Amino acid sequence: MTNIPKHIAIIMDGNGRWASKRSLPRIVGHQQGVKAVRTVVKACGAMGVKTLTLFAFSSENKNRSTEEVSLLFKLFLTVLKQEVKKLHKHNVCLKIIGDLSLFPKDVQETAAQAQAELANNSGLTLVIAANYGGQWDIAQAAKQAAQAAIKGEITPDDITIDSFANYLSLASEPAVDLLIRSSGELRISNFLLWDVAYSEFYFTDTLWPDFDEAELNKAIDSFNHRDRRFGARKET
């Protein structure tokens, strides 16, 4: 591969359908999805991707059944505890974005501890979007900018596209080059609305638990055949 995206973002969709097709509980699909995460994280680290952002739990997911949301919380907590040592071994830096106030206290504490333990690693940056929404991200950025203006730190005229981006959750990460969505859905579901302004999109019918390194390579190969002009006119 001649051109590896610096930043890949993935909407991991299809866990529930994967389980339903096998007459299994939905949580089994989510558990199998964790295996796909491990595969993709390892592959991205090996090929030199700088940042991988995964949509783990959207702000709309809280509208699912109480039982499923509770099980997702427990799974998230278990995975955090189990994966920290493995991520550290592979020099992965972990960041978690989103409104974690929805999560139980033990999940919040474990998330903070995991990020602290991996903060100084210099390999792949793994960003987990949990209780995250693109509209929420822009709104909280606007709130921060407004608070800075009230304090006299900035004026409204100081707010530009570049300066506003500094208040967003992914301010310290490179722009998203490639957005992947599994399971055949053709939408971005309120994910990284600001950050994917000039991203290349790749949609696959593969359900997330079946997404593997070969599927990742297909997405990157497609990316390599795109003509990225960022709004500029193509020279003829």
Which residues are part of the catalytic machinery? 13, 61
Question: How far is residue 140's CA from residue 142's CA, in Å, rounded to a whole number?
Answer: 5
CA–CA separation, 174 vs 11, rounded Å? 18
**How far apart, in whole angstroms, are the C-alpha atoms of residue 235 and residue 214?**
34
Beta strand ranges found along 66-214 (DSSP E): 93-97, 125-132, 178-181, 200-203
What is the DSSP pairing of strand 200-203 with strand 7-11?
unpaired
3-state secondary structure of 58: strand
Pairwise CA distance, residues 216 & 10, whole Å: 10
> Listing from the earlier edge strand, what are the strands of the sheet with 7-11?
93-97, 125-132, 51-58, 7-11, 178-181, 200-203
Alpha carbon distance 142, 105 (integer Å): 27
- Classify strands 178-181 and 7-11 as parallel, antiparallel or unpaired: parallel
